[in-house]
Every structure is written in structure tokens, then in C-alpha cells.
Structure 1
Amino acid sequence: MSWTEIVIEVARDHAEALSDALMEAGALSVSVEDADEGTDAEKPLFGEPGMEPKEAAWEHSRVVALTDVDADQAGIVAAAAAAIQLADVPRFTTRKVEDEDWVRLTQSQFDPIHIGKNIWVVPSWHDVPDPKALVLELDPGLAFGTGSHPTTRLCMEWLEAHPAPGQTVLDYGCGSGILAMVARKLGSFPVAGVDIDPQAIESAQDNAVRNNVADIQYFVPDDFAESPFATARFDIVVANILSSPLKLMAPMLSGRVADGGALVLSGVLARQADEVAAAYAPFIKLGVWAEQDGWVCLCGRLGSDTVPSPR
């Protein structure tokens, strides 16, 4: 089986409305891309929480609609244009999409990832490169954290460099649960994870069972506040989020660190390190432990006046 894509280049003002109208007119799916992708005019479209772009579109957008191969593509475009009252039916091109083994194609894009000295993140369809390593079986999914992003890698490398058998760990903003699983596999206990997204919690719980660390406890914030950890302070608190929420959570996260315990933060760009450290200065003195691809990992210990040495 094959399909046909309709490709329309439009201004930002029409991209979202046209996308919705194409779906109503019979398209199977619609995506919006940067029409300037691959050129000097290409622009990123992302933001930190509270600063997200209002529209998922670019100044010069490309709307791509997937249709059945025998669908009336011209009719779909005309109906969509009429629905949003465009003065003229936009010009469009079509391209054929051949049937493929999409599962196999997607899987081929995710290979095992080697992190630090002895950690491997391995998708379920791959063989384990080194059975003696600390192995995490983890498939790409809805929750952030597969080990591919520098911020995740930095936190995993910190945990590997500072194993804490028998010590308590809190992974705040746990996503897929990958950091909590690393800590648990290194011997920390008990280990807890918190995330505002219920889907992330479900994913983290499934991942923990798959990796034989089902005793990790994951919570959304409200449940965490009602749990046995409600007032607990932890030997290690790790948070891989973004700079803006990290600054807002400085009193709360610092208050979760036990005396002499470590606070480890990532999701911070190198240029943001000083302002994040300043937000935590009244509670914990933080310094840059390591940097990777423009991102940093900050850490410090409660009650210590010295900044940990960089890696």
C-alpha cells in the first residue's frame, strides 16, 4: 500500500488553521515543518516552560498532509481553503509515500548508547553489547530520557562517578525514570521519582519493572506529598529539567537534600549556569561539575562552603 502527501507552503498565520481544515477535509494526518529547513534562514521553534511559542508554526511554514493514494488531493485542498476562507486556493505539490516496514525503519534509528565508563542504554530489539556493564533496557517513548541527550548523560555520568550504595535518592522530573534506575542499579535505596506528567510516571514504572528495579517508587507531586516520602530528605537529589523551573524550585529542591547530601542539576545551558547557581546560593553552593555540547551539570553538597571540583 502507498499514500500521497500534499505539500503546501503557507505563512505562519494560516498554518494551524489550514492543518485543521485539511484533517476535516479528509487528510489522514498533517504536520507543519519549517519551509526554510536546511538553509541559513532555518529557525528553531522551542521554548522553556512558560515561554512556549503560541503557535506550532514558522514564519514560512510547510504544511504536509498525508492522504490515501486515490484521494482527490485537489478537492481536499480546495475544501480546506474554503473552510478557512482563503481568498485563493493555495498551490501545492504532491509526493508519493511508499509502504515500508515502519517499525523496523524506526528501530534502525536507535542503536545502543554507551554512557560514562560502564553504562549501556539498549533498546529491546538490540543485543546487549556488554553483559557485564550496567545495562538499561529502554525503548524510545513518550517520556523524556533515553540517554541520548547531553543533560541526561551528564546526570548518569555523575551518578556513576558517585555511587551511593544504601543511600537515598530522589529523581525530581524523572521522565522515563532513567536516572532513578541508574541510582538503584548502583545500589542506592530507597529511590523515588517524581514527575508532573502521569504518562511519564506510567512509563517510568513500566521501565523499572523491565529492568528488575521495581522497588523504585514513582509519584506525581500530589501523591508524593501524601507518600511516606512527604517530609523526607535525601542523600542525593537529582533534577534534570530546565533552568527556569529549576530556579523557581530552588527552595523546594534544596529542602529535600539531607545534611551533607548532594544536589545535582542539569537541563542548564552553560550560559545559564551562573544564574541557576545564584538562585540556589542561599541554600547550597553549586558549581559546574561537567559540560557537554553546551549543557552543564551543576552540583553541590548541603552544608559545604566549597564547590565540588570539575570532572
Structure 2
Amino acid sequence: MSEGLFRVAVHVPAERAEEARARALELAPGGFEESEAAGTLILVFYAPAAAAEAIASAFPNPEITPVEPGWEDRWRSFHRPARAGGLWIGPPWEHPDPEELAVVIDPGRAFGTGAHPTTRLCVELLARAGRGSLLDVGCGSGVLSIAAARLGFDPIVAIDVDPVAVETTIANAAANGVEVEAYVLDGEEAELPRADVAVANVLLAPVERILARLDSGVAITSGYLVADMPAAPGRGHVDRVELDGWAADMFTAAPLPG
């Protein structure tokens, strides 16, 4: 496969949709397009050659096409704003209503704008949580940290194992005029700072490892399907929200009585 950007489209039977979404999130955590037609789930990825080959090999009968010049403008049309937890979340070329609290995220570094269901679900649960300090584990673009700031959480610490994610979070926080302390830290290995509320929107297995190590009164998790429930020894499950086959959960620091 030559160099450049490629579009990979796959068609999955509806009965295998959850499995396909989980696999897609592993291969493209920064995001992918999703639509349905005639009982078929259609997933579309945009990736450089090596990543496109990896994605194509994970699904049967992929359609791979080079992305033509001018794709940047068409690409923008796929990043639409979303609303969650009383917030408008979207890219800088879209505009919220004047009275809306906005979280503006530029997806130019491939972390997405916050429209993915798991992000929106986490914001919904953050809006229901008591305010206080917040720890964002696996911060990506920083969308959850910025949303938390808009909702009144303070102070906010964001960590990620990827230095580019940390740089992106810092830049996005500055662009939104909110204060977020962000730095490189492995949420599955290093000692985690204490917070009143912690949020982790990653895959199921990392979520479970992070939950076991958190020092927080409340934990909000997502990045997995409705069929999954993270193991959370020593914590009580208090809330769940679902959207488009994805789920997010809220846990307390101690098991609930009874």
C-alpha cells in the first residue's frame, strides 16, 4: 500500500454490531464514522497506510480507497456538535447558541471532538456527580476535563500515557479558557493522585485496572459496550447510562449497604 491517507469501510451484520464497535474502538480510539443501512452496521475509518492495513485485516471484505485531495474540507462535515450534561460539545468551525455552555475541541490531532457516545455518556454522569476535584485518566483531547471545568469541578488533573494527548489537552484547555493541570502518567502503573471524582473513558480491561487503583470518592467509567460491566471490587455501583450500544457507569468508593 502506498503512502498517504486511506478510507477503510467495513459492513457488519447487525447481530455482530457490538463486537465490531468494540474492535473498532481498539483499532481507532481517536474515532470512526458509524451508520446503519438495511440491517447492516457501516464503519468508516480514515488512517495512514500502516494503520489502514491493520484495520482492514481485522474485518472481512473491507473497502479501501485512497483519500483524494481536498478531503480536509469534506472531513469537517463528519465532525458535528453534540450536547450532553447541559453542555454543547463541538469543533471550532461550528457555533453553539449564545446561552449555551460550550466545550470547543479541535480534532486536528485525531482525538475526536467529543461526539462519541462514550464521551457524551461520561459528561452526563459528570453532570450528576457532586462537584469537587477531578482526575481524568487517559485524557485524550481533554474534552472530559474541559467539560468538568464547565460543570464546576475544581481543581482538575488530567493524565495520559501519550505525550501528544497531554499537549493536546493543555492546548484545548487554554483555547477554552479553563485551568487543567495535565501531565504524562501511566494510569495503569503509576501512583494516581487523589480526587473527589475520577473519570476514565478507555477500554474495559484498562478501566478495571484503573478502578482497582483509584483513590476517589466517585469513579465514572466508559469505553465499553452495554453487555459489559466493569469489575469494581470494593466499590458500589450507583448509576448507568447507555447510548447507541455503549455504556457508562458511576461507582462509589465503598459498596452500598445490602
Coarse TM-score class (shorter-chain normalised): 0.7 to 0.9
Instruction: Name the CA shift for 1:249/1:132 in 2 (closer, same or farther; >3 Å).
Output: same
Cα offset for 1:38? 4.7
1:217 match: 181
Which of 86, 90, 113 is residue 122 of structure 1 equivalent to? Answer: 90
2:13 is the alignment partner of 1:46: no
2:220 is the alignment partner of 1:264: yes
2:73 is the alignment partner of 1:104: yes
The amino acid that maps onto 1:239 is A
1:74 match: none
4+ runs deviating over 6 angstroms: none
| Structure with the larger strand share | 2
- Aligned ranges 1:1-311 → 2 under 5 Å: 19=1, 23=2, 29=4, 31=6, 33=8, 37-38=10-11, 44=20, 46=24, 48=26, 55-58=54-57, 59-64=60-65, 100=70, 102-116=71-85, 118-129=86-97, 131-164=98-131, 167-213=132-178, 215-221=179-185, 232-253=193-214, 256-257=215-216, 261-273=217-229, 276=230, 279-281=231-233, 283-306=234-257
The amino acid that maps onto 1:262 is V
Conserved in 1, the CA contact under 8 Å of 2:134 and 2:157?
yes
Cα offset for 1:306? 4.9
Instruction: Name the CA shift for 1:54/1:245 in 2 (closer, same or farther; >3 Å).
Output: farther
Q: Structure 1, residues 104-125: CA drift from partner, whole Å, max 9, x if none?
A: 3332333332223x21013212
Cα offset for 1:179? 0.8
Instruction: Name the CA shift for 1:39/1:186 in 2 (closer, same or farther; >3 Å).
Output: closer
Structure 1 stretch displaced more, 144-153 or 191-200: 144-153
The amino acid that maps onto 2:195 is F
The amino acid that maps onto 1:152 is T
Consecutive unaligned residues of structure 1, counting only runs of 5 or more, are 1-18, 67-96
Q: What is the CA RMSD across the aligned residues, in angstroms? A: 3.4
Instruction: Name the CA shift for 1:188/1:53 in 2 (closer, same or farther; >3 Å).
Output: same
Cα offset for 1:147? 2.3
The structure with higher relative contact order (CA 8 Å, sep 6+) is: 2
Conserved in 1, the CA contact under 8 Å of 2:106 and 2:112?
no
Q: Larger radius of gyration, structure 1 or 2?
A: 1
Instruction: Name the CA shift for 1:63/1:124 in 2 (closer, same or farther; >3 Å).
Output: closer
Consecutive unaligned residues of structure 2, counting only runs of 5 or more, are 28-50
Conserved in 2, the CA contact under 8 Å of 1:285 and 1:300?
yes
Q: Structure 1, residues 173-196: CA drift from partner, whole Å, max 9, x if none?
A: 111111111111222211001111
What is the aligned-residue identity percentage? 30
Instruction: Name the CA shift for 1:134/1:62 in 2 (closer, same or farther; >3 Å).
Output: closer
In structure 2, the residue corresponding to 1:57 is in which secondary structure?
Answer: helix
| TM-score, normalised with respect to structure 1 | 0.63
